Structure 1
Amino acid sequence: MSRTGRLRASSRAAALSFLRRRTAVFFTFLFPLLIVLIFGALIETGAGGGGLFAEPPGYYVPGYLAVVVLFTPLSRVGSEVARHREGNRFEKLATTPLRRWEWLFAQTLVNVAVIGLAALLLLALLVVVTGAEITLSPLLIPFVVAGVALFCGIGALIGALADSQDGVIATSNAIALPLLFLSETFAPPSLLPAWFRPALELSPLTYFSRGVRAATFDSSGDPLANLAVLIGLAALALAVGALALPRVD
């Protein structure tokens, strides 16, 4: 079988695996929409009040998008790797022409498609519910693709190192929750202690937030520079994640 055929078959298997898990579908599509309804409609955002959610609604678009770009790849790919380890599937895959990086690339393709659709629905709801005034920049597509790829790579690494699926979920949440709120998403840097602000540069999600915000809301930023950093981090994460996948179980 050709490489294209292997990727196609592996991607199809990954897509069917996702659709069979109703919990995964719920958290990918419905959970982010609930977050928007809660924080966008019930806890209304608006400039002038000070504190958290004091910025215009458009400022928080990267934060809402980060919910799916961050959480879904980490948990889905990490759990998939853990399931393959527990079922001795990597040992079986080692007897086939499918390489480890091809398997991870196929998983990433499926996540990009699923999360891209979820992000599109999320953006539409954001505009309707919060009245966010944003620019629908074509740069949103590479930002979402690079962000998903980045956290797919990290998810693969978590799945390869965690001792169980429960361990994957616990580790993913322990990583994702701090990143979600400490990466210039919902909390502006001005709200954080001065001594902590340099640490924002260490979060890969910061470059997603800055870039998306510069492309859709704040034109004073540089989206291309942040996109370049994000792509570099994504390539590194996928390479490390593929190397971490076990050859045998």
Structure 2
Amino acid sequence: MSRFGRIGSECRAGAKAFLRRRTAVFFTFFFPVIIVLIFGVLVGTQPTGGGLFAEPPGYYLPGYLAVVVLFTPLSRVGSEFARHCEGSRFEKLATTPLRRWEWLLAHTLVNVFVIGAASLLIFGLVVALVDAQIAVGAHLLFLIPFVALGVALFCGLGAVLGRLADSQDGVIAASNSVALPLLFLSETFVTPALLPTWFRPITNLSPLTYFARGVRSLTYTGAQTSAGVDPVALALGDLGMLAALSTVFFLAGAYAVPRGD
């Protein structure tokens, strides 16, 4: 079987396994919807009132997208990794031509399609329910590589966590311990102005920061107005950093996939 055939077969197997878990399918799409409804509709923003949600609604779109780009790959790939270890599936895979990076790539592609659909749903909800002012144009197509690279990065990290944890429960605990600090300390919902001055440079160590900045440059009219440059030019630097970090994390995740058990 060719390389593309091996990856395609693993993709189909991963997609079918995901669709069979109806609870996982439901919460993959339901969880980000709840986040939008709570923070965007019920809590709302107060652009002149100060506090946590002191920016216009459009500022927080990257945060809503970050929820699904961050949490879903970490939990799904980490849990799948743990299931493979517990069921001795990696030992069986070691007898096949499927390579470690091909296994991770196949599951990453499944997540890209699933999370891409969830991101599209979130984008529509934010525009329809939160009254966010989005800069519409062909430049929004650059959201596709941002989402794809973000998913690849956290799929790689999910594989690393799956290797370090000793069970599915351990993977979930580790994923939440990593994801929650990243979500709120990566220029998503908490603006840099609300953080201590000494801590602000540390947010540059988070890969999610480059995702949030880049998406905000493409979508938020306020960011484009203040910068006074083309939104694509504004986002390319963050896209480059995200691509470099995604490569590193994906390679680390592929290395973490065992040849056997």
- Equivalent residue number for residue 70 of structure 1: 70
In 2, distance between residues paired with 1:234 and 1:135? 26
In 2, distance between residues paired with 1:26 and 1:229? 32
Equivalent residue letter for 1:67: V
Q: Which of 172, 179, 183 matches 2:182? A: 179
Identity of aligned residues (%): 67
Q: Post-superposition shift, 1:27?
A: 2.3
Q: Which of 145, 150, 173 matches 1:147? A: 150
- Equivalent residue number for residue 237 of structure 1: 249
In 1, distance between residues paired with 2:170 and 2:179? 14
Equivalent residue letter for 1:98: L
Q: Post-superposition shift, 1:139?
A: 1.0
In 2, distance between residues paired with 1:204 and 1:23? 29
- Equivalent residue number for residue 247 of structure 1: 259
Equivalent residue letter for 2:28: T
1:226 matched to 2:229: no
Equivalent residue letter for 1:19: L
- Equivalent residue number for residue 52 of structure 1: 52
Q: Kindly report which structure 2 residues correspond to 1:85-234, keeping only aligned pairs within 5 A, or say none.
A: 85-136=85-136, 137-217=140-220, 218-219=223-224, 220=227, 222-234=234-246
Q: Post-superposition shift, 1:46?
A: 3.3
In 1, distance between residues paired with 2:20 and 2:197? 46
Which runs of 5 or more residues in structure 2 are unaligned? none
Equivalent residue letter for 1:247: R
Q: Post-superposition shift, 1:248?
A: 1.0
- Equivalent residue number for residue 31 of structure 1: 31
Q: Post-superposition shift, 1:161?
A: 1.2
| 3-state secondary structure, aligned to 1:138 | helix
Q: Post-superposition shift, 1:245?
A: 0.8
- Equivalent residue number for residue 42 of structure 2: 42
| 3-state secondary structure, aligned to 2:141 | coil
In 1, distance between residues paired with 2:168 and 2:110? 20
TM-score by length of 1: 0.98
| 3-state secondary structure, aligned to 1:139 | helix
Post-superposition, which runs of at least 4 consecutive aligned residues in structure 1 deviate over 4 A? none
Q: What is the aligned residue count?
A: 249
- Equivalent residue number for residue 82 of structure 2: 82
In 1, distance between residues paired with 2:24 and 2:205? 29
Which runs of 5 or more residues in structure 1 are unaligned? none
RMSD over aligned Cα, in angstroms?
0.9
In 1, distance between residues paired with 2:69 and 2:135? 19
